[in-house]
Structure 1
Amino acid sequence: MAAMASRRRGPLGSVLWNMLVQAVWPLFILAVVAGAGWGGQKLWRVWTDPTYWPVGEVIINGAGNYVDEASVRLALEPEMEKGFLGMDLYAARESLMTNAWIAQAVLAREWPNRVRVDIVEQVPLALWQGDQVMNIQGEVFRPVLDSIPDGLPVLAGAEGRQWAVWERFNTLVDVLNDSGLQLAGVKEDERGSLDLFLA
């Protein structure tokens, strides 16, 4: 059958047909790729349009003692305005981490329009240098002063010595409790000697 078609076209028709196919085929492929790219771009715009696919619900776990849900929602607001798929979870996390009371934050999208925020709050152990807080890992962070809870032991000393000062404080608490005295804090000077503050 192919022989009959080539006989009807003749040698010149066959050559022209091949040239036409070779010229049109790349244009066809280019049109398909361009159409797919254009369609994909339009689809992405629709999906990331916050009015088309807004964040429907934010579930916050772990807030309570030092971090309230309202402050978490406020920190997330600029990213939530971008919609469910347009929201940059990394940028939202960075915004949350500006709150000194947040030790760790994990954000995740949950289909179809929910964002889950898991927060681990700092656990304060002692007041350090009067304006910082030492957590249970011995790390120092600087929250807003009026958010620091009352009743924390007051510690002071050289930079990087907070855990050693804490251990010395604990040793002295046990000794002084046996004597009926209550230790409120200690200050270690550069020589390693301690000033004690009683409650």
Structure 2
Amino acid sequence: MGMRTGNNGKAGMRVQTTPRGASRVAPPPARRRQWRMPRINWRLAGRLLFAMLAVVALGAGLQAWQVLWPQLDRPISQVLVESKLGEVAPQNQQQLQQELERFGEARFLSASLAAMQQALEQLPWVDQARISRVWPDQLKIEVVEQQPIARWGEQQWLNSRGQVFHGVTRAPGDTMPQLVGPEGTEEQVMQQYWSLTRILRPMGYSITRLELRARGSWFVHTREGLELLLGRDEILEKMRRFTTIYERELKEQMKQIARVDLRYANGLAVAWRDEDNNETTVQ
């Protein structure tokens, strides 16, 4: 095998060399950036648009309301009064009118119906009142008048709840019972009246006067002329005792009895008519 040697005797070889250092690569040609439309948050945009429209609508509504308010809030031209008992007496209608006049020139929308109603219910003959608006410029008053169940003392009245009032719209009949007691016992006396009435009515007796005296003793007068002295304690127990003895011994003789004294622990005492108030004790 033949080889070419240099002057130094070594074999000659053709060696291809490259320059030292990193090689350079030509960059790619620059691309032109294309413009793109930014992404829109349609949900947020919708909310903003809705808020703007709401503000505009609210402003327009307030402006319209300011224009319409004087036209709607007219002075009251008429007050209508109705009662569940029929026509309200003229003097009572006048009292209602006077109470409403205390509020000055009432207007249809700005009038305080709650305050007016409270003022009307302070009238002694009014149990409940309800006020409503009637378009375009009227008020309607519906009155529930006090219903007297009994007289309280000489000049006052009691309703079914034992509440005292001072006026009535219609004069009650002569059958109205009279209840008497110390101040502040109105409800207690009324409850006792109902309890005694439930016992005496089936026996044919109607209470015309029930009295609670200062020391706590109870006295009953009936339309049939019978008086009952009940004492202070165990009233219902004494009445049950009376009904038992009444059915057993006294029923046929009640027309001759003027008074029954139930203040005994066991039994009762009977006072007879037209016999100088002689009493008989029944055990």
Cα contact 2:145–2:169 (8 A) shared by 1 = no
Alignment match of 1:193 (pick from 194, 215, 218): 218
- Structure with the larger RCO, 1 or 2 (CA within 8 Å, 6+ apart): 1
Report the equivalent of 1:102: 126
Task: Tell me how far apart the structure 1 counterparts of residues 206 and 127 of structure 2 sit (CA, whole Å).
Answer: 33
Report the equivalent of 1:57: 78
**Aligned alpha-carbon RMSD (Å):** 4.2
Counterparts of residues 20-169 of structure 1 (less than 5 Å): 36-45=61-70, 47-48=72-73, 53-62=74-83, 64=88, 68-79=92-103, 81-130=105-154, 132-135=156-159, 137-143=160-166, 151=174, 152-157=176-181, 159=185, 160-167=187-194, 168=196
Shift of 1:125: 1.4
Q: Which amino acid aligns with 2:69?
A: W
Task: Tell me how far apart the structure 2 counterparts of residues 31 and 175 of structure 1 sit (CA, whole Å).
Answer: 78
Shift of 1:128: 2.3
SS at match of 2:65: helix
Shift of 1:66: 9.8
Cα contact 1:107–1:118 (8 A) shared by 2 = yes
Give the direction of change, closer, same or farther, for the CA distance of 1:128–1:148 in structure 2 (3 Å limit).
farther
SS at match of 2:190: helix
Task: Tell me how far apart the structure 2 counterparts of residues 43 and 84 of structure 1 sit (CA, whole Å).
Answer: 13
Cα contact 1:80–1:87 (8 A) shared by 2 = no
Give the direction of change, closer, same or farther, for the CA distance of 1:165–1:41 in structure 2 (3 Å limit).
same
Larger Rg: 2
SS at match of 1:155: strand
Task: Tell me how far apart the structure 2 counterparts of residues 153 and 66 of structure 1 sit (CA, whole Å).
Answer: 28
Cα contact 1:155–1:186 (8 A) shared by 2 = yes
| Structure 1 residue ranges without an equivalent (≥5) | 1-24, 178-182
SS at match of 1:76: helix
Task: Tell me how far apart the structure 1 counterparts of residues 148 and 91 of structure 2 sit (CA, whole Å).
Answer: 13
TM-score after normalising by structure 1: 0.61
Give the direction of change, closer, same or farther, for the CA distance of 1:166–1:191 in structure 2 (3 Å limit).
same
Task: Tell me how far apart the structure 1 counterparts of residues 104 and 204 of structure 2 sit (CA, whole Å).
Answer: 51
Task: Tell me how far apart the structure 2 counterparts of residues 75 and 197 of structure 1 sit (CA, whole Å).
Answer: 41
Offset from partner CA, 1:90-134 (integer Å, 9 cap, x none)? 111111011021111111101111211100100111122556421
Give the direction of change, closer, same or farther, for the CA distance of 1:34–1:176 in structure 2 (3 Å limit).
closer
TM-score after normalising by structure 2: 0.45
Give the direction of change, closer, same or farther, for the CA distance of 1:66–1:157 in structure 2 (3 Å limit).
farther
Structure showing the higher helix proportion among its residues = 1
SS at match of 1:72: helix
Task: Tell me how far apart the structure 2 counterparts of residues 74 and 191 of structure 1 sit (CA, whole Å).
Answer: 43
- Taking only the aligned residue pairs, the percentage that are identical comes to 19
SS at match of 1:93: helix
